[in-house]
């Protein structure tokens, strides 16, 4: 029991580090641009580089974890995040700042899919609850880094110190991970033969459906993050109102992540909750189209976004039998899915520029939600062979 508690604590604090290196940058962009003179296009790379890393380095995480173990790679990745983040303390040029985003992005990308494998390995009977711990911590990390970056900048009188502050959490997480996990869990002294047999499921139809579901979810999530305040301001509301609506979008995700495991235990159908969460997003977007209570629209969209993220993390775990396989399927979904997701804000920006209207951008997101629902029906459909296997199991 004590060991399980230590593993949960380690999982929580490790998950806290998956967003601060990204989210802490945006509130300070004015200060950064004013000092080192970055263009808007270059400044956008500070956010997009870590997202691209999630796509490029997730498959590599599977290979190295097979050789050195999931637990060790997660611990080392926390150190990489810390190093990339603390280097920002001495950043006074654009190239170095971009390099720090690359270093931190590599660490974030390595951890992402491996945490799914870690959860399946150590908590096979409590996967939804542990995914809740993961997503709540991730959301808290994102919210805290967005909210406290400016106060930290004012306190330290330095945007570099504000950005570098989040390295303390990464290094603390690395220490806790070493004490609570690496010293508690037996590590392989040689290549894990089971993991060596596992490859990314490029030829699996269901894996592609899971990847597409994750990608469409990511397109919407990053579009909301990038454009929701501007959309609300375009409707005639103040900047402070738009900022408050974005805060509602983020904060409401925490209780949703906490409640979802209980709902899944009572009603375990993945299709039911995938579609339900998508409908929440759809309702929120419709309210935006008709300019009805943007704060309520933001809340509905946040409810949907939180549930969809957790459920899409759950799909690869449901579809696999071994923790290495779960990590491989998660890596494929995230590697392709995050690249797809990074295109979302760009796509909406192009639509806005061509139509000079945020309404068109919101309608485009409604179309994406409808497409996502059709994919959700496909990914949760049971094939004929599944029914046969169930019948044979009942006979036995």
pLDDT of residue 186: 65
pLDDT of residue 385: 46
pLDDT of residue 387: 45
pLDDT of residue 150: 85
Angle 384-385-386 from CA coordinates, rounded to 5°: 90
Other CB atoms within a 10 A radius of the CB of residue 6 amount to 17
How many CA atoms does the CB half-sphere of 67 hold within 13 Å? 4
pLDDT of residue 50: 85
d(CA 313, CA 15): 13
Residues of the chain short of pLDDT 50, as ranges, are 190, 385, 387-396
278 φ, ψ to 5°? -65, -40
Name the class of domain 204-389: mainly alpha
First CA to last CA distance, the chain: 35
Q: Which of 5, 142, 66, 105 is nearest to 334 (CA)?
A: 105
132 φ, ψ to 5°? -65, -45
C-alpha dist (Å) from residue 94 to 33, 53, 146, 152: 9, 19, 21, 21
Query: Quick check: do 1-197 and 204-389 share a fold?
Result: yes
pLDDT tens digits, 75-106:
999 999 999 999 999 998 989 999 999 999 99
Instruction: Record the pTM.
Output: 0.79
232 φ, ψ to 5°? -70, -40
Residue 318 CB burial class (10 angstroms; 0-12, 13-18, ≥19): middle
Q: Which residue has the tokens 């997503």?
A: 135
Q: Which of 59, 46, 103, 80 is nearest to 173 (CA)?
A: 80
What token pair was written down for 123? 């908590």
Question: Is there a contact between 16 and 172 (Cβ–Cβ < 8 Å)?
Answer: no
Question: Is there a contact between 330 and 120 (Cβ–Cβ < 8 Å)?
Answer: no
Which residues lie below 8 Å from residue 251, measured CB to CB, with a gap of 6+? Answer: 143, 302
d(CA 122, CA 346): 39
Other CB atoms within a 10 A radius of the CB of residue 1 amount to 5
d(CA 174, CA 388): 46
How many CA atoms does the CB half-sphere of 16 hold within 13 Å? 22
d(CA 365, CA 288): 11
Q: Which of 140, 338, 170, 173 is nearest to 258 (CA)?
A: 140
Q: What is the CATH number of domain 1-197?
A: 1.20.1250.20
Question: Is there a contact between 219 and 341 (Cβ–Cβ < 8 Å)?
Answer: yes
Concatenated DSSP letters of 312-372: HHHHHHHH-SSHHHHHHHHHHHHHHHHHHHHHHHHHHHHHHHHHT-HHHHHHHHHHHHHHH
Domains of the chain, residue spans? 1-197, 204-389
What token pair was written down for 3? 């060991």
d(CA 390, CA 396): 10
Which residues lie below 8 Å from residue 395, measured CB to CB, with a gap of 6+? Answer: none
């Amino acid at each position: 029991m004590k060991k399980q508690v230590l593993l949960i604590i380690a999982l929580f604090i490790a998950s806290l580090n998956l967003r601060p290196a990204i989210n802490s940058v945006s509130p300070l962009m004015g200060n950064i641009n004013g000092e080192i003179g970055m263009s808007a296009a270059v400044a956008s790379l500070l956010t997009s580089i870590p997202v691209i890393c999630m796509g490029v380095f997730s498959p590599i995480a599977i290979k190295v974890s097979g050789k050195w173990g999931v637990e060790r790679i997660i611990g080392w990745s926390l150190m990489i995040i810390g190093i990339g983040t603390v280097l920002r303390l001495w950043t006074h040029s654009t190239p170095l700042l971009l390099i720090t985003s690359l270093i931190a992005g590599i660490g974030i990308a390595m951890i992402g899919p491996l945490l799914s494998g870690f959860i399946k390995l150590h908590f096979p009977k409590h996967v939804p609850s542990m995914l809740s711990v993961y997503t709540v911590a991730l959301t808290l990390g994102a919210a805290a880094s967005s909210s406290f970056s400016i106060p930290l900048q004012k306190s330290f009188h330095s945007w570099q110190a504000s950005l570098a502050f989040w390295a303390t959490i990464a290094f603390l997480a690395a220490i806790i991970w070493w004490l609570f996990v690496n010293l508690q869990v037996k590590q392989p002294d040689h290549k894990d033969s089971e993991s060596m047999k596992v490859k990314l499921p490029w030829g699996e139809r269901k894996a592609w459906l899971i990847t597409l579901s994750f990608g469409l979810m990511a397109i919407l999530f990053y579009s909301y993050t990038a454009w929701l305040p501007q959309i609300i301001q375009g409707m005639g509301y103040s900047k402070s109102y738009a900022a408050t609506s974005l805060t509602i979008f983020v904060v409401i995700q925490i209780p949703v992540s906490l409640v979802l495991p209980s709902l899944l235990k009572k009603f375990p159908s993945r299709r039911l909750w995938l579609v339900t969460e998508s409908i929440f997003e759809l309702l929120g977007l419709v309210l935006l189209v008709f300019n009805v209570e943007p704060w309520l629209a933001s809340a509905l969209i946040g409810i949907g976004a939180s549930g969809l993220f957790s459920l899409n993390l759950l799909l690869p775990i449901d579809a696999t039998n071994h923790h290495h396989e779960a990590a491989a399927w998660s890596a494929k979904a995230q590697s392709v899915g995050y690249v797809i997701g990074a295109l979302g804000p760009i796509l909406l920006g192009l639509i806005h520029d061509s139509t000079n209207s945020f309404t068109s951008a919101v309608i485009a997101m409604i179309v994406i939600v409808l497409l996502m629902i059709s994919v959700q029906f496909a990914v949760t459909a049971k094939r004929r062979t599944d029914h046969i296997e169930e019948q044979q199991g009942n006979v036995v």
